[in-house]
Amino acid sequence: MIENTKSLDRTANVILAVGVLYILFPLVITLVTATQSFESFLQNGFSFIPGTYLLENIQIVWETTQLPRQLLNSIIVATMVALIKCGIAFTTAFAIVYFRIRYGGILFGMVLVTNLMPLDLRFITTYQVAANIMMPVNALLDFFGITYIVQTLTGYRMNFQVSVLNTYFGLAAPLLANGTGTFLFRQYFRTLPADLSKAARMDGAGPMRFLWDILIPLSRANFAALFVLMFLGGWTSYLWPLVAASTPEMQTAVVGLARLSPGDPGQIPHYPAIMTGALMVSVIPLAMIALMQRHIVRGLTLTEK
């Protein structure tokens, strides 16, 4: 007996269409507003009819704001975060799965605990560390009494000060503490045949050759998927770049976009320019998702062992 599913298909299509319209509506408003002039926006307000001032608004944002430099900052920071996270996640999962570590399960659990303490909950202490990364060294010198001895002999108190605030390293490093990538790679490695590493050893391949010649080629889709996810995470991060970068030249695009709104309550925001800036900030992540969509699906489709 063949059931008639036309009504079910139509209902599903209607729900899908409504969901797509719900998602695309803000993007359409943003795009249409970015094509309006400031004068027409003041006269007519929001409109659903596209204008012809998109290039002019892009020129206004490009020449009168720091957003172009901030876009470059976002590209550098997000790329650093994605590359380093992928490298750390891959090597950590490789060690946990393919080496006999006595407390490997405990270590893996500690890695996952990092997901329970996101940066937004610990940014105050992170800021203190970033303001002086030599704090552990100073604490060790005080603990062993070296600071007291030097101060007694010379009258000088040792206190090393090295700040990474307002630097690319300072913007990227705190965003690296996340165990999601390690979890994804571990789950993928566990889907591979258990005899794969044994066959490699029988052929004379050591751990490093097994990693370079077998695991990395097999994990290309996973690398691509994780790179995109981590890049987007670094690109959209707001709170830490807001407090870690003290000058507009070092702020990221998301922070710069928020600064496009005027600080004076009586001043009317230039909404067409703001929406144009939103399009400029969104175009790189959207293009990356569109180009890497197939790899993202393949990399995140994991089979539990």
Contact 34, 47 (CB under 8 A): no
Report, in this order, helix, strand and coil percent for the chain, each rounded to 5: 70, 0, 30
> Residue 4 — pLDDT band, cuts 50, 70, 90?
low
- Close Cβ partners of 97 (under 8 Å, ≥ 6 residues apart): 186, 189, 190
Q: Does residue 183 have a pLDDT over 70?
A: yes
Mean pLDDT over 62-73 rounds to 91
- ∠ CA(293), CA(295), CA(301), 5° rounding? 105
Query: In whole angstroms, what is the distance from residue 74 CA to residue 283 CA?
Result: 13
The two three-digit tokens of residue 232, written as one number? 């987007």
H or E element that contains 229: helix 220-236
Residue entry with tokens 């249409």: 32
CA distances from 277 to 17, 64, 177, 233 (A): 28, 12, 30, 19
When the pLDDT of each residue in the chain is averaged and rounded to a whole number, the result is 84
Q: What is the pTM of this model?
A: 0.85
Nearest to 181 by CA among 94, 90, 304: 90
Least confident of 52-56, 109-113, 187-191, 219-223: 109-113
Query: In whole angstroms, what is the distance from residue 127 CA to residue 123 CA?
Result: 6
Please write the tens of the pLDDT for every residue from 118-156: 777 788 888 888 888 888 888 888 888 888 888 888 878
Residue entry with tokens 């571990």: 186
- Close Cβ partners of 127 (under 8 Å, ≥ 6 residues apart): 165, 243, 244
Q: What residue ranges define each of the domains in the chain, with the CATH number in brackets?
A: 40-119+170-300 (1.10.3720.10)
Mean pLDDT over 46-59 rounds to 84
Query: In whole angstroms, what is the distance from residue 149 CA to residue 63 CA?
Result: 57
Q: Where are the strands (E) in 97-166, listed by range?
A: none
